[in-house]
């Protein structure tokens, strides 16, 4: 079992490139099975979640080849309509295959999905929306038998909450449906627009008013294209956090600053200087960081839940008290117990975490329990006195391509052994 051995770091300095977005590439991979000719996708990050998705595609009958960050997918002969338990349980977003599989084959037998354990993560919105478009579901133990009579039929779907995964599944079901589908209260995350952009270039007709209404006019056919996946905004936020906590000065390249407005605003209120230009963010941090009264995680364009653990790290050493309210997932403070072991002062009560900045963080053995919690521990370890040993790297590897090499390139001292 590999671990990270992290020594206290001076200021991070230099330039770093952001990988392609994990949360964007996964639904785009699922979308390729709807294309009647092959696709070439660029900027695909090398991650365990990406490997699992490619395994699912191969299992379904697609030809997949990968060269660096380029992935070639010929899914024109997909025939298999079940996804094995092992692949389904390794990643929650495997549920986005449901709509495309039904659309293409009229049948899909899937196990209930896995992924980060952030509390209850139901798929009721996916199932009720796809039912409205004509799908039928029968559940037996953990297996879900899904079927569709002939073809999806367009409908109006109002989502109770703007679920990212459910919005993606509806879009992927509706692009080849008969008639028009309207999604009300759709998720507005940039990854949704990346998927829509990809599909429209493949011949789909998806229109969005950018305030949560998406209209999809079903077409008969989609064709394959060459496409470059958007940059990973949460990985960019991780580099910003690592720079902020060490008092560094780093240029983050190949990033879209418009995707990070809410996050940038928090870094500015923390006392960092953030300069943005085309595809670049420079963050300059000072020695003493300030607290921010209140940060609530909300759907995009608000402050993202995925950035909550990662930004909690600099606040653990800031001057004053910061209150977080996690409104998206019930169990997203698992990193806090490990922060406490390192000397942080944080009190959690339900959705609220009260973070009182301390003068010193001490290196010790810590265990990552989910993907962004792993990144948060790595960031906090950068300023810990002595050495931190970070276990649970399978979580980190789900979302970060070369983070150890990238941080070491900026001046960190991290060994993976």
Binding site for ligand UD1 (CB under 6 A): 23, 26, 92-93, 121-126, 161, 163-166, 187, 191, 305-306, 328-329
* d(C-alpha 186, C-alpha 159), whole Å: 7
Q: How far is the CB of 24 from ligand UD1 (least distance, A)?
A: 8
Nearer to ligand UD1 among residue 24 and residue 388 (C-beta): 24
* d(C-alpha 10, C-alpha 412), whole Å: 7
Nearer to ligand UD1 among residue 169 and residue 285 (C-beta): 169
Which residues are known to be catalytic? 116
Q: How far is the CB of 38 from ligand UD1 (least distance, A)?
A: 24
**Beta sheet of 280-284, edge-to-edge order:** 13-17, 249-253, 280-284, 273-277
* d(C-alpha 333, C-alpha 284), whole Å: 28
Length of the chain: 417
Nearer to ligand UD1 among residue 306 and residue 401 (C-beta): 306
Per the CB < 8 A criterion, the answer to whether 157 and 181 are in contact is yes
Query: Residues 278, 70, 24, 249: is their CA dihedral positive or negative?
Result: negative
Nearer to ligand UD1 among residue 117 and residue 387 (C-beta): 117
Residues 6+ apart with CB under 8 A from 45: 19, 20, 21, 22, 25, 69, 232, 401
* Three-state DSSP string of 2-59: CCEEEECCCCCEEEEECCECHHHHHHHHHHHHHECCCEEEECCCCCHHHHHHHHHHHH
* d(C-alpha 270, C-alpha 162), whole Å: 29
Q: How far is the CB of 306 from ligand UD1 (least distance, A)?
A: 5
Q: Which residues pair with 208 in a beta bridge?
A: 214
Residues 6+ apart with CB under 8 A from 297: 303, 304, 305, 307, 308, 324, 325, 326, 327, 328, 332
Q: How far is the CB of 232 from ligand UD1 (least distance, A)?
A: 11
Tokens in use for 409? 């390139």
Nearer to ligand UD1 among residue 306 and residue 338 (C-beta): 306
Q: How far is the CB of 93 from ligand UD1 (least distance, A)?
A: 4
Q: How far is the CB of 160 from ligand UD1 (least distance, A)?
A: 7
* d(C-alpha 360, C-alpha 239), whole Å: 21
Between the alpha carbon of residue 116 and those of residues 38, 89, 92, 93, 286, the distances in Å are 31, 10, 7, 10, 34
Q: How far is the CB of 112 from ligand UD1 (least distance, A)?
A: 11
Question: Closest CB to ligand UD1 belongs to which residue?
Answer: 165
Nearer to ligand UD1 among residue 74 and residue 370 (C-beta): 370
Nearer to ligand UD1 among residue 51 and residue 387 (C-beta): 51
């Amino acid at each position: 079992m590999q671990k990270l051995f992290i020594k206290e770091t001076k200021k991070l300095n230099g330039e770093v490139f952001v990988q392609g977005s994990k949360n964007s590439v996964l639904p785009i991979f699922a979308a390729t099975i709807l294309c009647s000719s092959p696709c070439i996708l660029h900027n695909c990050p090398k991650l365990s979640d990406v490997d699992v998705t490619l395994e699912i595609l191969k299992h379904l009958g697609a030809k997949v080849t990968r060269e660096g960050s380029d992935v070639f997918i010929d899914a024109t002969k997909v025939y298999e309509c079940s996804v094995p338990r092992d692949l389904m349980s390794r990643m929650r977003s495997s549920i986005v295959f449901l709509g495309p599989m039904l659309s293409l084959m009229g049948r899909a037998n899937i196990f209930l999905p896995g992924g980060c354990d952030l509390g209850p993560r139901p798929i009721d919105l996916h199932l009720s929306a796809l039912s409205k478009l004509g799908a039928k579901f029968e559940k037996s133990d953990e297996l879900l038998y899904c079927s569709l009579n002939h073809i999806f039929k367009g409908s109006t779907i109002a989502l109770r909450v703007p679920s990212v995964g459910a919005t993606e599944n509806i879009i992927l079901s509706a692009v080849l449906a008969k008639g028009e589908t309207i999604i009300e209260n759709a998720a507005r995350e940039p990854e949704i627009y990346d998927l829509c952009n990809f599909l429209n270039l493949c011949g789909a007709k998806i229109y969005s008013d950018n305030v949560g209404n998406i209209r999809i006019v079903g077409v008969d056919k989609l064709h394959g294209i060459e496409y470059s996946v958007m940059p990973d905004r949460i990985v960019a936020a991780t580099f910003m956090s690592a720079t902020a906590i060490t008092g560094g000065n780093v240029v983050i390249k190949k990033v879209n600053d418009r995707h990070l407005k809410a996050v940038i605003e928090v870094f500015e209120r923390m006392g960092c200087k953030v300069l943005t230009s085309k595809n670049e963010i420079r963050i300059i941090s000072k020695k003493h960081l300030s607290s921010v009264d209140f940060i609530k995680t909300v759907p995009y364009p608000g402050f993202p839940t995925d950035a909550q653990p990662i930004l909690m790290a600099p606040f653990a050493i800031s001057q004053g008290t910061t209150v977080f309210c996690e409104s998206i997932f019930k169990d997203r403070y698992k990193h806090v117990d490990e922060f406490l072991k390192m000397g942080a002062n944080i009190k959690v009560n339900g959705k609220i975490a009260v973070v009182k900045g301390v003068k010193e963080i001490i290196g010790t053995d810590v265990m990552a329990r989910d993907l962004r919690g792993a990144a948060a521990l790595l960031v906090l370890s950068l300023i810990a006195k002595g050495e931190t040993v970070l276990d649970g790297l399978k979580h980190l590897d789900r979302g970060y391509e070369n983070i150890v090499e990238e941080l070491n390139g900026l001046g960190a001292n991290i060994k993976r052994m």
